[in-house]
């Protein structure tokens, strides 16, 4: 018998006590996808506060100042900056741009910074979700460079995880690769002292537009 058949057989005989073949025989008393209260702060302010809690850099700017803000955020960066043409077009600033035309891991290691947009921002947890669609780069490109500047539009911010999951599903993101980012890379493995920046970008700069 194949391992598959044998394991499924074992599962079925282990579940001899389960009489119904209807999965809903175990009710789940939970309503999915609903918005959650964000407390005394409104969505976007709560989001900004919670992102800052992770020691990420957060700024909120009107659309007209986005380009200048990104340029300022990258003023100190020494080396090429990867961003999608759609993002560059939106920023309209001159930087040491580089296309991610299938860069190797080693090439990515020599990239200084990456600028992406996001799919969703989550207020109560301060999380940005990338579904790696247009403007968000593939997963490796938002990981290897040491600085990640992430642009989140105010209307992309939702209250909490339930609303985020619902929105991602409605956008068709649930079968796309996703990266949920809550602050820069961090470890607490040595005597539980938090150290930022082990392998991911050591600087996370979130710019909220609108």
Residues 95 to 124: which contact another protein by CB under 8 A?
A: 102, 105-106, 109, 122, 124
Shortest distance in whole angstroms from residue 38 CB to another protein:
11
Which of residues 41, 59, 112, 176 is near another protein by CB under 8 A?
Answer: 176
Pick one of 139, 155, 170, 172: the residue that binds another protein (CB under 8 A).
139
Per CB under 8 A, 134 contacts another protein? no
Token pair belonging to 44 = 């976007």
Tokens of 189: 């493995």
* CA dist., res. 133 & res. 31, Å (int): 29
Residue 184 interacting with another protein (CB under 8 A): yes
Beta carbon nearer to another protein, 116 or 125? 125
- Residue 116: both structure tokens together: 């992406």
Q: What is the DSSP letter of 55?
A: T
Q: Does 33 bind another protein (CB under 8 A)?
A: yes
Six-digit token string for 193: 């002292």
Beta strands (DSSP E) in 62-171 are: 81-83, 97-98, 113-117, 120-122, 127-130, 147-153, 157-158
Stretch 62-101 residues interacting with another protein (CB under 8 A): none
């Amino acid at each position: 018998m194949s391992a598959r058949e044998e394991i499924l057989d074992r599962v079925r005989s282990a579940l001899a006590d389960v009489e119904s073949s209807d999965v809903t025989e175990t009710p789940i008393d939970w309503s999915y996808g609903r918005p959650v209260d964000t407390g005394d702060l409104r969505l976007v302010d709560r989001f900004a506060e919670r992102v800052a809690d992770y020691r990420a850099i957060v700024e909120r700017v009107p659309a007209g100042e986005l380009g200048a803000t990104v340029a300022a955020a990258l003023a100190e960066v020494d080396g090429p900056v990867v961003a999608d043409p759609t993002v560059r077009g939106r920023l309209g600033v001159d930087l040491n741009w580089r296309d991610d035309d299938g860069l190797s891991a080693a090439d990515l290691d020599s990239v200084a910074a990456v600028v992406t947009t996001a799919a969703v921002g989550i207020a109560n947890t301060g999380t940005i979700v990338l579904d790696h669609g247009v403007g968000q780069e593939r997963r490796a490109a938002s990981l290897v460079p040491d600085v990640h500047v992430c642009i989140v539009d105010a209307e992309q911010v939702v209250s909490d995880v339930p609303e985020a999951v619902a929105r991602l599903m409605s956008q068709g993101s649930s079968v796309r690769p996703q990266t949920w980012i809550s602050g820069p890379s961090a470890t607490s493995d040595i005597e539980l002292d938090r150290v930022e920046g082990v392998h991911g970008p050591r600087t996370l700069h979130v710019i909220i537009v609108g």
